[in-house]
C-alpha cells in the first residue's frame, strides 16, 4: 500500500506564472485532496545560471505574481525559501531543507513532462527521489502511456528497481517513493511564449495568465521590451 504525499512542492521560474501552472496545481490538488501544495519560485534556477543569462524579472515580482495567481486557493501556499539558499540553487538542496523542516512528512515535487525528460541531468537526481516522490504533468506530446513509460525509464536509469501500476499510472520505486503521472493535460502555454508575445501586444497574453497577474504585468510594465 503506497502512502500518498502530504506536502507537494511546485518549483519553477514562474516568469511569469501562467494558466498552465494554475491548471497543473488544480489537477494535482484534485488528485491529492489531503495534501498541501507549496509553490516555490526559484531565485536563480541553475538552468539560467549555466547559460550565464539571468532571469530579467526580479525574484520579488515573480513571487508576487505567484501570490496573486493563487490568492485564496484552498490547500495552496507560496514559499520564497529559495532566496535564502545559495545560488545557483539545486532542487535536492531545497528538498533537504524542506525534509528537515517537516520530519515524518511524505514529500513530493511537481514537474512538467518536459522536465521529467531532462530530470536525469539535474544535480543529484537520485537524492531527489530519495527525499520525495515526483508528480508529473503531461505537456504537449508527452502524455499518457508514453509518459508512464518515460517515468519508468528515468527511474531505472537512475538505478531504482521499479514496479509499474498501470491502472493508477504510478511507478513505485524500491526505497519508498513513487512517480505519479497525471492524466489530465494542463493548458498548453509557456512563460517564454508569454514573454515573447507581451513585447508585441499585452492583449495577446490575456487568456494565458490570471487577471490579477495581467494587472501586475501591465502596472509594472513587465516584459515590454
Asked if 114 interacts with ligand ATP (CB under 6 A), we say: yes
106, 160, 191, 223: which one binds ligand ATP (CB under 6 A):
191
Indicate the residue among 30 and 114 with the shorter CB distance to ligand ATP: 114
* Per-residue b or e along 172-203, where b marks 16 or more CB atoms closer than 10 Å to that residue's CB: bbeeebbbbbbeebbeebbbeebbebbeeebe
Cell of 99: 525534509
Per rule CB under 6 A, is residue 125 in the interface with ligand ATP? no
Which is closer to ligand ATP, CB of 144 or CB of 161? 144
Q: How many residues does the chain have?
A: 225
The CA–CA distances, whole Å, from 36 to 48, 107, 216 equal 28, 10, 26
For position 137 contacting ligand ATP by CB under 6 A, the verdict is: yes
Residues 17-36 that bind ligand ATP (CB under 6 A): 20-21, 24
Does residue 152 interact with ligand ATP by CB under 6 A? no
Give the range of 12-20, 79-87, 153-161, 167-175 binding ligand ATP by CB under 6 A: 12-20
- Please say whether the dihedral angle defined by the alpha carbons of residues 172, 174, 176 and 179, taken in this order, is positive or negative: negative
Q: Are 181 and 153 in contact (CB under 8 A)?
A: no
Site for ligand ATP in 171-190 (CB under 6 A): 186-190
Alpha-carbon gap, residue 180 to 195, rounded angstroms: 30
- Residues near ligand ATP (CB under 6 A): 12-14, 20-21, 24, 111-112, 114-115, 137, 139, 186-192
Amino acid at each position: 500500500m503506497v502512502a500518498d504525499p502530504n506536502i507537494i512542492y511546485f518549483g519553477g521560474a514562474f516568469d511569469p506564472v501562467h494558466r498552465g501552472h494554475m491548471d497543473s496545481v488544480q489537477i494535482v490538488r484534485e488528485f491529492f485532496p489531503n495534501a498541501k501544495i507549496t509553490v516555490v519560485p526559484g531565485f536563480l534556477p541553475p538552468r539560467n545560471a549555466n547559460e550565464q543569462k539571468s532571469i530579467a524579472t526580479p525574484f520579488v515580482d515573480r513571487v508576487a505574481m505567484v501570490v496573486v495567481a493563487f490568492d485564496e486557493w484552498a490547500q495552496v501556499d507560496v514559499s520564497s525559501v529559495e532566496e535564502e539558499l545559495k545560488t545557483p540553487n539545486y532542487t535536492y538542496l531545497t528538498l533537504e531543507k524542506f525534509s528537515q523542516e517537516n520530519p515524518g512528512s511524505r514529500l513530493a515535487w511537481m514537474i512538467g513532462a518536459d522536465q521529467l525528460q531532462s530530470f536525469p541531468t539535474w544535480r543529484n537526481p537520485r537524492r531527489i527521489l530519495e527525499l520525495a516522490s515526483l508528480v508529473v504533468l503531461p505537456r504537449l506530446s508527452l502524455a499518457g502511456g508514453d509518459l508512464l513509460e518515460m517515468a519508468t525509464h528515468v527511474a531505472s536509469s537512475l538505478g531504482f528497481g521499479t514496479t509499474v501500476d498501470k491502472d493508477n499510472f504510478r511507478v513505485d520505486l524500491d526505497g519508498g517513493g513513487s512517480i505519479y503521472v497525471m492524466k489530465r493535460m494542463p493548458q498548453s502555454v509557456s512563460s517564454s511564449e508569454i514573454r515573447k508575445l507581451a513585447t508585441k501586444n499585452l492583449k495577446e497574453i490575456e487568456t494565458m495568465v490570471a487577471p490579477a497577474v495581467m494587472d501586475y504585468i501591465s502596472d509594472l510594465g513587465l516584459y515590454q521590451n
